[in-house]
Structure 1
Amino acid sequence: MPEFSPASSLTTRYPSSPLYCSCFGDSSNCPTSRASSMGSKFSSFRLRVRGRKRLTMFSPKSKTPKHLADGHTRQRGASRKGDASESDGDFDKAAALELIKAHDSEVDRRRSGVETSRLGAENGSLGLPLDLDATGAEKRVPVPSKEEYDELRKHVFAVEQELSFDARCRSRASDLEMDVDAIIRKIREKDDREIYASQPKRRGYQGQMHERFAGDHFLSNVDIINKTDLFEIASKMPKGAHLHIHFNACLPPNVLLGIATGMDRMFVSSTLPLIHKAGDEDEYENFDKCEIQFSIMNQKRLDKKIGNLFSADYIRGHMMKFSDFRRQFPSHYTRAAVDEWLLHKLMFEERETHHPFQTASGAWEKFNGRTRMMKGLFNYETAYREYTKLCLADFVRDNIQYAEIRPNFMQTNQLYTDDGEGMINNEGIMKIIISAVEEFQKEVAEKGQFFGGLKVIYCTPRSMDQENVKKALKECIEFKKRWPQWIAGFDLVGEEAKGHPIKEFVPELLEFKRQCAAQNLDIPFLFHCGETLDMGTDTDGNLVDALLLGSKRIGHGFALAKHPYVMQQMKAKGICLELCPISNEILGLTPRVGGHAMYQLLANNVHCTVSSDNGALFRSSLSHDFYQVMVGKADMGLFGWKQLAMWSIDHACLNEEEREIMRYEWNQQWNEFLKWVKTTYGDLIKDVAKI
């Protein structure tokens, strides 16, 4: 493996520029070229990109695309008195023409020799000019007839379709795929007509009545979604690789609650005493506000920490045996059974997610409390082993062919033995996962089924300090050397706005890349970043650092559409986004899936995959996310799903032999899926040929 270079991470398959030379090359005029530390070069370059101070980028010898040079000239021109508006408009038009030419060239390339229609004006633009004077005397052009206008309009739509992210899949489609695509479009209409339209309207502000529709708030629709034919089809569809799933939130919470019920050493604590305030306006306020945590405890750890959660004298954090808690609960809370109440504490609900006062920060506060609650249900040996097996079975049930899971690894990780006496370290956690997967693979093979297995993305919290992140990076290398086929990459996880930005760990991350190169280890970065609405902060600045550090994939990347230069660089590098649409909606980035940034990103042909993130907390599965992706865009069909699934295999951390096996198996299952759809729903379209 070659020595890592931030310069090479930007310039591969992209025109060279004095910007890169001035920061990383041999330019004698560049101060950073004389710096002794690669870290200082990296920081200097990062500031240049963030500050957009690209003066050297536009020299006469620069190979920078003209539309970028125009943008720079626009900045200079705007400083001249009297001509700012005029020059801005001219430069914007010139930049638009360059992009039009680029799109036309792309269409020509895709058509592979088919003659391009000559429907535009001489300068490449379509339609009437916008800069005619009042009489049109100096720039008179013929006004098109209605027929000519319709032809121009048809041409624009045709070009947009040819540039769409799913165009290749559509152009290469088999007859069977064309039929299934038509069926799916009919299914969408049928679901809207028979399922959503039949639901009672909901009463809103001042009595306004609201119809139900696909693409509304996920948490308000989830029970309806589960009844639709489109969701059944989404469930059956082979999804390829699931690349963004946090391992402690893969399965419905009732699975872990069921295991915990049978554990003798399981204890529970609360942040508030669970007391009934008779006569108060909200008599069960503490039950609503409290945060519950679970833990396996031995007697030594319990000393002086025993308490009764239902006592007014209860001290925060003191433990009560879970079996006792379950037995006493009905006497103190009458609105729901104990399991129903616990599930309510673990999963998001529509009213809290979409309350008028709710914010992304507030949603994260609730999310973090729920992950702490899940941690205690997950952090002992029996639960971890059983959960891993059930998770693998659920992947197969949801028609996932391969997965890359994200467990958290820390020096203070707490995975207990069932009696609470012993501790299992990170190495032990890896052994549990590997053992469970190998056992499951044998069982699947014996049944004649296929599951391509999983790999582990080594994750550590971004809230850690530099020293602990350094230790985590060291352990990641050790794990990769010990289990080379199991470690997929490295990530920093946790709330992006509250944790440290990536830039604070640049020295440690660069050193990690050097060590990997020296030892011929391939451990790509797979960073969470751009999971934010912020602009101009360190939070959305993580996208720049992920780019410069050569991240193979980006977790979420919601903010990327707001950074066109970074987006084009990521496209040039082949960096893929791990979309998590339901997660982004529930955590406050968009109120409904139709407003998700993914449609802008896909329109720009940014490679993306679909993932569920923390499905256990969101009442969702990967099938639900694929469903949401489709209903959020009126013209999305089979080919959008297909491209997203294919990209998931293309961008998975697989060697070429593994990837070819995955592609072959996915294609086999894809063809079976198509036949199933046509057999089951073929009567929805006319003249469907028999299989």
Structure 2
Amino acid sequence: MGASLLHAAVTLLWLAATTGFLDPTRRDQLMRQEASRQTGGGVALTPAEQRLDNRLHRMKVHEMEAKPFPPSIHFFKAKKLIRDSPIFKLLQDMPKGGALHIHSSSLVSAEWLVKNATYRPNCYVCFTWDNSVRFVFSQQQPYPRWDCFYWQLLSTLRAKVADQSAFDASLLKYLTLVTDDPDGEYPNQDVVWDKFEKTFIAAEGLISHAPVMKDYLLEGLSELHRDNVMYLELRSQLARTYELDGTIHDRIWTLRIFQDVTRKFVADHPDFVGARMILSVHRASSASKVKAAVEEALALRREFPDVVAGFDLVGREDRGSPLWYFRDALSLPARRGLDLPYFFHAGETDKEGTETDQNVLDALLFNASRIGHGYALAHHPLAKEISRLGQVAVEVCPISNQVLKLVSDLRNHPAAVLMSEGHPLVISSDDPSMLGTTGLSYDFYQAFVGIGGLRANVGTLKELALNSIRFSSLPPNLKDAAKVVWQKKWDSFVSAHS
């Protein structure tokens, strides 16, 4: 809203308050002005989109009267309710654009890992002292190590159990956070994050096996495509992959596999526009290791300019060092006059006033292209304004924020404020396999029904989907091509559901 328009609105409210004169026409004008500021508020709807909007509004009114209201309860308890929702079924059909915030170790459903990867020959398992598991593929029984003293061949172990389905279900619990009693099992953030990090370690032994890696990436793209997602930006620490004979591949090999799998998938699915990778390093690393990771990212971006999108720091912000601690490493590309886009996790915290909380401002100081999570951004008016005016989009991951105990009722998510102000946002799923989801539909549901409330409409959905292309790392010509593909799918979707 411009300064003159804001002044007029404030004057109108003051006159109404002091004179007692309430003009319904002026009230309607104010309400329209406010609605025009929200995400999607400036989108002009076609007649077909208006019909769909009316239908969705009626569905949402009915849904919001439900007890319990799905976004108000923990996702693990709400999932079945959401799955049965007619709004969710409609959102599954909706072309959602791109997934811009997903981690490589959680790209593919945990069910696929158990049913596919763990059934392959030469797969060993070890149950650790801290109630976790480790997997490795080996031609012979692996040597004991500090966390694994006894490795068992999974095929032999399965042959000994009477109920293999129950056994597979028990393995699944090590690879996800899903539980029937989330509040009891995860009473605070420390407990849920400890389990969260164990699931990553457990999955890594399966995913980093070279033959599994190739199929894993292909399955990940397929799961996204089935959910009507057409593009991916994958955050990855590029763990070294290994062969059965112990051969270790370097990061360049992994990037080439990622590139080859993506090209093949796009060739077989012309409506999928591609995938790129955001290289990352854990924020608990030393300053020297982060500097080395930035150096490597610059080199890999030169070698794979169409694949490497940029760089990020990952891991729990509250336990890792803040961005400012790594300022020497993060300012290195600018000092050399080189381009390395940043997509920082920043503000994934509810600890206001801490160094972690300041990451949102530091991310902007380092010229981040997008902000991952940005949960704390609503508490930083200056950073929020810089982000909005600079069109630095926030990657909102509703289910992840709820499961990791930043917010219990998604109607209270800070993104509701950002949405009402038309702040640039994209919706993503963060760690879908760990959270019991695939694709983006569940997170779109939570954003549309819970965070957006009744005011979120078809224009909101349209803008959020287009934002995922607009704020992607794709070059302008590919963004334009992706928008053409998306628009065709969107028109078909609206026609089918209006």
Give the TM-score taking structure 2 as reference length.
Answer: 0.93
- The residue number in structure 2 matching 1:636 is 456
2:124–2:152 Cα contact (<8 Å) kept: yes
1:657 aligns with one of 460, 477, 483? 477
Closer, same or farther in 2 for the Cα pair 1:589/1:305, shift >3 Å?
closer
Q: How many residues are treated as equivalent by the alignment?
A: 494
* Alpha-carbon distance between aligned partners in 2 of 1:361 and 1:426, rounded to the nearest angstrom: 32
- The residue number in structure 2 matching 1:166 is 40
- The residue number in structure 1 matching 2:105 is 248
Question: Are 1:607 and 2:424 matched, yes or no?
Answer: yes
2:186–2:192 Cα contact (<8 Å) kept: no
Question: Are 1:179 and 2:31 matched, yes or no?
Answer: no
Return the offset for 1:254.
Answer: 1.4
* Cα distance per residue 1:305-361 (max 9 Å; x no partner): 69xxxxxxxx85432222233233459xx9x71011112232223555323971222
- The residue number in structure 1 matching 2:20 is 143
Closer, same or farther in 2 for the Cα pair 1:103/1:561, shift >3 Å?
farther
The correspondence of residues 82-481 of structure 1 with structure 2, limited to 5 A, is: 102=3, 104-105=5-6, 121=11, 125=14, 127-128=16-17, 141-144=18-21, 148=22, 150-169=24-43, 172-191=44-63, 196=66, 211-215=67-71, 216-272=73-129, 290-299=131-140, 302-304=142-144, 316-330=148-162, 337-349=166-178, 351-355=180-184, 358-409=187-238, 413-417=239-243, 419-445=244-270, 450-481=271-302
Return the offset for 1:101.
Answer: 7.1
Question: Which one-letter code corresponds to 1:143 in the other structure?
Answer: G
SS at match of 1:125: helix
Return the offset for 1:214.
Answer: 3.0
Return the offset for 1:369.
Answer: 1.1
Return the offset for 1:368.
Answer: 0.7
SS at match of 1:183: helix
Identity of aligned residues (%): 26
Return the offset for 1:246.
Answer: 0.7
* Alpha-carbon distance between aligned partners in 2 of 1:103 and 1:646, rounded to the nearest angstrom: 30
Question: Which one-letter code corresponds to 1:562 in the other structure?
Answer: H
Closer, same or farther in 2 for the Cα pair 1:329/1:468, shift >3 Å?
farther
SS at match of 1:168: coil
Select between 428-437 and 262-271 the one with higher mean Cα deviation: 262-271
2:240–2:251 Cα contact (<8 Å) kept: no
SS at match of 2:136: strand
- The residue number in structure 2 matching 1:493 is 314
Closer, same or farther in 2 for the Cα pair 1:357/1:245, shift >3 Å?
closer
- The residue number in structure 2 matching 1:583 is 400
Return the offset for 1:103.
Answer: 7.6
Return the offset for 1:598.
Answer: 0.7
Closer, same or farther in 2 for the Cα pair 1:349/1:302, shift >3 Å?
closer
Question: Are 1:508 and 2:333 matched, yes or no?
Answer: no
* Cα distance per residue 1:175-204 (max 9 Å; x no partner): 1110111111223345567xx5xxxxxxxx
SS at match of 1:643: helix
Closer, same or farther in 2 for the Cα pair 1:422/1:178, shift >3 Å?
same
1:556–1:580 Cα contact (<8 Å) kept: yes
Closer, same or farther in 2 for the Cα pair 1:486/1:305, shift >3 Å?
closer
- The residue number in structure 2 matching 1:558 is 375
Closer, same or farther in 2 for the Cα pair 1:165/1:327, shift >3 Å?
same
Closer, same or farther in 2 for the Cα pair 1:414/1:325, shift >3 Å?
farther
Question: Which one-letter code corresponds to 1:213 in the other structure?
Answer: F
- The residue number in structure 1 matching 2:350 is 533
Question: Which one-letter code corresponds to 1:404 in the other structure?
Answer: E
SS at match of 1:613: coil
Unaligned 5+ segments in structure 2 are: none
- The residue number in structure 2 matching 1:544 is 361
Unaligned 5+ segments in structure 1 are: 1-99, 107-117, 129-140, 197-210, 273-288, 307-314, 679-691
Return the offset for 1:119.
Answer: 7.5
Return the offset for 1:662.
Answer: 0.8
2:60–2:454 Cα contact (<8 Å) kept: no
- The residue number in structure 1 matching 2:411 is 594
* Cα distance per residue 1:530-588 (max 9 Å; x no partner): 00001111111111210111001000000000111111111222111011000000001
Question: Which one-letter code corresponds to 2:20 in the other structure?
Answer: V
* Alpha-carbon distance between aligned partners in 2 of 1:628 and 1:142, rounded to the nearest angstrom: 42
* Cα distance per residue 1:54-109 (max 9 Å; x no partner): xxxxxxxxxxxxxxxxxxxxxxxxxxxxxxxxxxxxxxxxxxxxxx9738259xxx
* Alpha-carbon distance between aligned partners in 1 of 2:149 and 2:355, rounded to the nearest angstrom: 34
2:324–2:362 Cα contact (<8 Å) kept: yes
SS at match of 2:437: coil
SS at match of 1:457: strand
SS at match of 2:454: coil
* Alpha-carbon distance between aligned partners in 2 of 1:223 and 1:103, rounded to the nearest angstrom: 49
Q: Which has the higher contact order (CA 8 A, sep 6+)?
A: 2
Question: Which one-letter code corresponds to 2:414 in the other structure?
Answer: A
- The residue number in structure 2 matching 1:8 is none
* Larger of the two Rg values belongs to structure: 1
Return the offset for 1:592.
Answer: 2.0
1:353–1:363 Cα contact (<8 Å) kept: no
* Alpha-carbon distance between aligned partners in 2 of 1:571 and 1:484, rounded to the nearest angstrom: 28
* Cα distance per residue 1:270-323 (max 9 Å; x no partner): 223xxxxxxxxxxxxxxxx71112122354x824569xxxxxxxx854322222
